[in-house]
Amino acid sequence: MGRRRLSDLPDDLLRRILYFAPLKEAASTSALARRWRTLWLSSGAVNIDSRNYDHLEDDAKRDAFDHHAAEAVYGRRLWPIKKLAFRYMEGENEDDDSLSYQVYLQVGELMGLLSAPGACHVEDLCVGLFFGPCPDEPNSLYGLSIGTLPSAASLRVLHLSKVMDFCPQGPGSSLSPYPRLTEARLHFCYVSLGILQAFVDAAPMLGTLEVRAVQLCLFQDSQYPPAPRSLRLRLPRVTDLVLDDFYCWGPEGRNTMEIQEPLLRRFAYEGHVRALYLEPPPEMMARVNLRFKVPALLVHPDDDG
């Protein structure tokens, strides 16, 4: 006869389930029994999601969210934090400009958590601050230096959403090394090509790169050298690449992009038809998914065709 209660499951499976549980639910569950608390803490996961506080007004929601986040990260722990997921949403019905101070406060809270001693050995980091009425677009962004994350040396998985990082790399400058990073996902971000390339160069084990709704900052003013029309991105170890609404084509869509990826095996592209080249052609390519966005044709109602 099969097991009917969650508590009948073995510890390893329960620990894996709690690895994905939001902080508020996991903490509430762990308060019920010592076994649950031990399993949750030993999972090494802290998943902080503001959607669990949506029943509160904004000020109370922010206070409760920050309090529980600080308690989980700064508190004494027998097991180190291996996974940290920080997702905050606010102002879906407000104007972007009215949220600038809230963005500033929440970025400060986030940076404090990332710099805390309890988070210095994080292996899986997922960060996203979603402010304003358009959470699924690359706007209402916040500054976060991809190259100076405190846990860079231990990270294996990195998922960043809504990040803005476009400072050009000067001569002799470099990013913090990511010696263990194997998977990176950038969603709704605004970065320079130099930052993106330096990030890839700093991660020699990077095998999976997912870029969704990311806009490349192509400087056009006199403070920076003009961006070339022919762009190039080197991905020497990447085997799985996803480009979905990758905005790198310039205001008139005339830029070209050459991607050097000799080990690529799986490639997915979704977006407008643009001059994108894989050079040299990957010899071990096993799967390609292409979805092109083509403007609808205007057909005259009297057109029999």
143 Cβ contact list (under 8 Å, min separation 6): 107, 163, 164, 165
- The pLDDT of residue 98: 65
Q: What is the pLDDT of residues 235-294, one digit of tens each?
A: 999 999 999 999 888 777 778 899 999 999 999 999 988 888 998 899 999 999 999 887
Look up residue 109 and give its two tokens.
């809270």
Query: What are the tokens at 228?
Result: 């070339």
In angstroms, the CA 138 to CA 127 distance is: 15
Q: Which two tokens stand for residue 122?
A: 């994080």
Query: What is the pLDDT, as a whole number, of residue 103?
Result: 82
Question: In 162-205, which ranges are continuous DSSP H helix?
Answer: 193-201
In this prediction, residues 193-222 reach a mean pLDDT of 87
Report pLDDT for 266. Answer: 97
Higher model confidence: residue 3 or residue 108?
Answer: 108
For the segment 166-199, what is each residue's pLDDT rounded down to a tens digit? 665 544 456 789 999 999 999 999 998 888 999 9
Nearest to 21 by CA among 45, 55, 56, 51: 45
- Is 0.95 surpassed by the pTM of this model? no
pLDDT tens for 47-102 read 999 988 888 888 898 899 899 889 888 877 778 899 999 999 887 767 666 677 78
